[in-house]
Amino acid sequence: MKINADQEWTEMTRRGLMLILSSPSGAGKTSISRELLERDRNISLSISATTRPRRPGEVDGEDYIFVDKTTFDLMVNRQELLEHAKVFDHYYGSPRKPVEKTLASGHDVLFDIDWQGTQQLAEKARGDLVSIFILPPSTAELDRRLHSRAQDSEVVIAERMARAENEMTHWSEYDYVIINISFEESVRKVQNILNAERMKRPRLLGISDFVTRLRQGH
């Protein structure tokens, strides 16, 4: 908390939070995440380590931290990952140290992860966690979006559609659910959730001292 020369409140410091966006592949979580990062400078993306091959245009250390399976297993054994999961025959995990440093500085961290990672984070840091599940408006629209990306073969798309059925059963484990009909509206809803969660009383550091000073006439 910051106090000016006249002892008036100017800014309340807080602990950062972990914002999770999850969805079936193609439902829009990655696009929403990118737009949120563009609009809000107080949140940064947790860059996952992964064993999957790098796709064209991806940059190591920016999109993902690309590692081999041996290195990934070492990170797990050394407890260097907050969460990890196997998705479509590849492994993904969130490095611990950069997240803990960011939260302590009062900034937020965005996670683009699935329900497996969300469950692990909830077990380890529930108080810091805000989770949002993104649903498509229909399975037909989900299929259309997967095809429109032109990234995967028909076989891979079929696998993603089959996996989506199971992924969507986990919606009730999340704090919030958004049906992604309109991209702009979905981004706005995520921003509103984030802003409200930032102001929750337990996250405001020094609020008790500030109220005490108010009661003393300062």
Give, to the nearest 10 degrees, the angle between helix 29-39 and helix 183-198: 60
Determine what percent of the chain is predicted with pLDDT higher than 90. 62
Average confidence (pLDDT) over 186-209: 92
Determine what percent of the chain is predicted with pLDDT higher than 70. 94
Does the structure show a pLDDT above 50 at 5?
no
Q: Does domain 2-46+107-215 have CATH number 1.10.10.10?
A: no
| Structural domain boundaries in the chain | 2-46+107-215
**Token pair for 185:** 């509206």
The Cα 144–Cα 70 span in angstroms is 37
Give per-residue pLDDT as tens, 119-145.
999 998 888 999 999 999 999 998 888
In this predicted structure, which of 6-10, 34-38, 51-55, 95-99 has the lowest mean pLDDT? 6-10
149-164 exposure pattern, b = at least 16 Cβ within 10 A, e = fewer: eeebeeeebeebbeeb
Give per-residue pLDDT as tens, 22-73.
999 889 898 999 999 999 999 999 999 999 999 889 999 998 999 999 999 9
Instruction: For residue 212, name the pLDDT band (cuts at 50, 70, 90).
Output: confident
Note the pTM of the prediction, 2 decimals: 0.84
Give per-residue pLDDT as tens, 103-116.
999 999 999 999 99
